[in-house]
Structure 1
Amino acid sequence: MLYRLLSTLLLSIFLLAVPMAASAAGITNYPQLLTADYWTAKNPTGDKLILTSDGVTAFNTKVRNASRSVPSLLIYPGTVSGDALKTRIMNYQVLEDDLYLHGNKVSEHYKDILRKQTNVSAIPNRVNVRYAVTVRRTPVRNLPTGEGLYYYAGERNFDVLQETSLDPGESVIVLHESANKYFYYVQSVNYSGWVSKFNLGFTDRKTWLQYADPKEFLVVTGANVSLKTGAEQVVYQQGSRMLLDSEQAATYTVEAPTRATNGNLRKEKLLVPKTAQVHKGYLPYTANNIVRSALEFINMPYGWGGQKNSVDCSSLVFNAYRTVGVVLPRDADEQENTAGTKTLLQGLGDSAKTATIKELTPGACLYMDGHVVMYLGDINGVPYAIHSLGSCFVNGQRHVVMKVVVSDLSLQRLNGETFLAELNSAMEFK
């Protein structure tokens, strides 16, 4: 009897402690609030299917129709307009600003070298596309260089040329080659830019389609899964797919892409233990699965454009949703304006915004200028979200965070307004 009484008392104290601890404004470090179990337990309908697999396919078609950055690679034309490609590549706007390389201001001569490396004069009237597969985690660059450029001499986290990162096994359309022949301009599932030639394996369209539209595959559900391919450890980030060859009692055999010395694609069969954070096929599209996926990144470093083998705010969202097969645009502003159920928040007072947010399905995304957070649920009427956060402000002073956090929406921006006040819209992707 005493044991039961003590257990009940401890449980009551624990349940009371969570809201009290969470009521402190800003980023929470309360351990329980950093777990998926806490948030999924608060959502009794969280395991209800939002879309069937056919519904996901139909929704992805709506995304492609709404967002030019998300073309259908499966029906990508075999030739493209050279003039249109030149227009895409000659986006040199970033070079109009003062930039720094290794702490030194970049000269106009260096900028001209970067422009010339884009090799646009070699683009013909009609470009024949080629097919390749990424063989390792691959930075996608705004210009054909691997060197980082920054707005400040001492900055090292926000490389202005870093656009995004592709995972191993991603099919890309190769459109152009740099002047020094070390970079290719490619179109991926939701981004175009320059990638190192050493990260690609060229192949025929039939083999390429096995990776672009696999019939059987594993999807990574953890933040990262690492496989030893040849002599290197290759990182697959959440939502990436591994081409499934066969299944054994305790392992899967996958066909990992590697690059032969001649630049062509070569498959290597590797064993993946079933204890790894992978799932055969996509996860069912439920709110709880989206929340679980996002929380796999908790406390991981902020990774601008996918650097540090981590995520920034919009790739956290992109990764979580691709575990269920939903393919979103890469950038936050395009996610905000793609297909889905959009709820306008701009112009509402804080109380009205809070009431509106509490009616959203956990996993919904909240957008403000330059940032996105994922709604997890509320505690005592206070909405909480997970997001990859670079910094926030307290009384005008910048606080560097640089990691994935759970917080309420009382965090401040540079202008002194709270995240809640700055929200423009909410998106439910269904």
Structure 2
Amino acid sequence: MPLFRHRLLFAALLAGFPGMASLASPPPIVDTGIPGVTDAQLSPDWWIARVPDADRVVLDAPAIAALNDKLRRLDPSMHDIRHLPSSLTRDQVMVWIDKVSQRPARALFDAKGQSLPASAIDSILANDATNAIPSEVTPRYGMAVRRAPLRSHATDARVFTQPVDTDIDRFQESALFPGDPVVVVHSSADGRWVFAVSARYAAWTPAEAIAYGTTAQVFAHADATPFRVITGAAPHTVFTPEAPALSELQLDMGTRIPLDTSLSPGQPVNGQHPYTSWVLSLPVRDAQGALSFRPALLQRNQPSEADYLPLTRANVIRQAFRFLGERYGWGHDFNGRDCSGFVSDVYRSMGVQMPRNTGDQASSPGLSHTAYTPKDGHDARVAAAMALEVGDLVYIPGHVMMVIGKVDGQPYVIHDVGGISLRDGTTSLRRIKLNEVSVTPLLPLMFDKDTSFVDRMTSIVRIR
């Protein structure tokens, strides 16, 4: 589309949305193919330069610790696995399992577009083996040894709600990261899956992704100092044929990993001198599933810090833009993340441990949020949108967006999104497929031809 048509389109979007035309002039001529977004706006520095006091600390470390404690105490989606009793009842375990492992209520399709028969669903549910859960369950503590999927059922079968759309696997829930402490409370009938409860989520994960140890061993390692916090999107450890389980291991943003302090200076690590890298201490699993720790190298030129980043507006923008262009991955699929995984991983790099899913984030009793109901009219919602600040999270059903600033008074967001719809100047909508972490204006985004994103807004969360 010629550049001048972008400006005309954005003006038409505002004119076609009552109450918006007077809010601001159209943004500058664009060159990205996305109305209202210029190439310059794809740099974090462009946005940071426009934020007053961008480096001012919004929450210091004690305030973040207090926020995390509040979330653990008040938010039912968070799990205080450090203080579980030594024995759990079947009913307690079933509460966790029932939350994610219900029988599908709608038709599903496999990766070839074929309808999934009831017999296949029956087989999957049988492998969950919930009828085999005893009346008393002894929780087993362990750690994730790699990035591993969290699934709604004990299966790696990918299922979809549309035969032609294989992006969103409806059995995919979330992910574990190397070093995540978990409590295992159940095993599948085939023994290949375990039901793991982590601090932020509970679901099925591959059995071979978990190494088991004592409670003291698990949390001593999780709390060990010194450590590195991963601040890049998804760096990898150094390739090493000497330790295949630790070779090119993906380490996602916000992961906290202790350093190995047991080695002598200059002692080779996995066949390599360590002076150009950080020597991490990572969990490994032996043939019997037991937990131990081995050193692995993370190159010093890969983004990591000796502590969580300060929670500043500049860092919120900078960290969000590290994911710009990453492929959308429902439930942390495709080695990526989805909209709620994206915002929670950004804040996790600054020490904030948010709930995993959009619904839990939007309504969490542990977070400061403003809720919106059908009683809130269009004008009130637009006024709220105009008052948004950098780092604010805007929720509509099933989606969350992070505010990064304003252009000519118009709020802009960065979000992990399948696509956006915009008015084309008539009654029709123009659909743009994105399928990635993207920068867009907020106000022109439409849910359907009659309803904007702002009119669908359910909550604004402010991490303060």
TM-score (norm 1): 0.90
Q: Alpha carbons of 1:362 and 1:211: their partners in 2 closer, same or farther (altered >3 Å)?
A: farther
- d(CA) in 2 for partners of 1:110 and 1:25? 43
Q: What is residue 244 of structure 1 aligned with on the other side? A: 259
Q: Matches of residues 17-416 of structure 1 in structure 2 within 5 Å? A: 19-21=27-29, 29-90=37-98, 92-102=101-111, 103-227=113-237, 228=239, 230-231=243-244, 232-246=247-261, 250-338=276-364, 339-346=366-373, 348=376, 352-394=380-422, 395-396=428-429, 398-409=431-442, 410-414=444-448, 416=450
Q: What is residue 429 of structure 1 aligned with on the other side? A: 463
Q: CA deviation at 1:383?
A: 0.3
- d(CA) in 1 for partners of 2:299 and 2:32? 42
Maintained 8 Å contact 1:170/1:211: no
Q: CA deviation at 1:21?
A: 3.2
SS of 2:248's equivalent in the other structure is strand
SS of 1:184's equivalent in the other structure is strand
- d(CA) in 1 for partners of 2:28 and 2:62? 43
- d(CA) in 1 for partners of 2:278 and 2:115? 50
SS of 1:383's equivalent in the other structure is strand
SS of 2:235's equivalent in the other structure is strand
SS of 2:62's equivalent in the other structure is helix
Maintained 8 Å contact 2:27/2:36: no
Q: CA deviation at 1:374?
A: 0.2
The letter for the 2-side match of 1:286 is T
- d(CA) in 1 for partners of 2:140 and 2:434? 42
Q: Alpha carbons of 1:380 and 1:258: their partners in 2 closer, same or farther (altered >3 Å)?
A: same
Q: Alpha carbons of 1:168 and 1:64: their partners in 2 closer, same or farther (altered >3 Å)?
A: same
- d(CA) in 2 for partners of 1:256 and 1:370? 35
Q: CA deviation at 1:76?
A: 2.5
SS of 2:333's equivalent in the other structure is helix
Greater mean alpha carbon deviation, residues 251-260 or residues 132-141: 251-260
Q: What is residue 3 of structure 2 aligned with on the other side? A: none
**RMSD between aligned alpha carbons?**
2.4
Q: What is residue 271 of structure 2 aligned with on the other side? A: none
Greater mean alpha carbon deviation, residues 395-404 or residues 296-305: 395-404
- d(CA) in 2 for partners of 1:66 and 1:420? 28
Maintained 8 Å contact 1:28/1:406: no
Maintained 8 Å contact 2:329/2:336: yes
Q: CA deviation at 1:192?
A: 0.3
- d(CA) in 2 for partners of 1:397 and 1:20? 20
Q: CA deviation at 1:197?
A: 0.8
- d(CA) in 2 for partners of 1:272 and 1:237? 13
Q: CA deviation at 1:22?
A: 6.1
Q: CA deviation at 1:320?
A: 0.6
Q: What is residue 19 of structure 2 aligned with on the other side? A: none
Maintained 8 Å contact 1:237/1:309: no
Higher helix share: 1
Q: CA deviation at 1:129?
A: 0.6
Q: Alpha carbons of 1:378 and 1:398: their partners in 2 closer, same or farther (altered >3 Å)?
A: closer
- d(CA) in 2 for partners of 1:335 and 1:279? 26
The alignment covers a number of residue pairs equal to 414
Q: CA deviation at 1:212?
A: 3.4
Greater mean alpha carbon deviation, residues 58-67 or residues 408-417: 408-417
Greater mean alpha carbon deviation, residues 342-351 or residues 167-176: 342-351
Give % identity. Answer: 27
Maintained 8 Å contact 1:366/1:425: yes
Greater mean alpha carbon deviation, residues 72-81 or residues 395-404: 395-404
Q: CA deviation at 1:182?
A: 0.4
Q: CA deviation at 1:351?
A: 5.2
Maintained 8 Å contact 2:325/2:436: yes
SS of 2:416's equivalent in the other structure is strand
Describe the superposition over 1:316-375 as per-residue Cα deviations: whole angstroms up to 9, x where unpaired.
Answer: 110011111111110011101112322345555555444433433311101111110000
Maintained 8 Å contact 1:392/1:414: no
Q: CA deviation at 1:397?
A: 6.0
The letter for the 2-side match of 1:407 is T
SS of 2:288's equivalent in the other structure is coil
The letter for the 1-side match of 2:463 is F
Greater mean alpha carbon deviation, residues 47-56 or residues 222-231: 222-231
Maintained 8 Å contact 1:47/1:288: yes
Tell me, which stretches of 5 or more residues in structure 1 are unaligned? Answer: 1-17
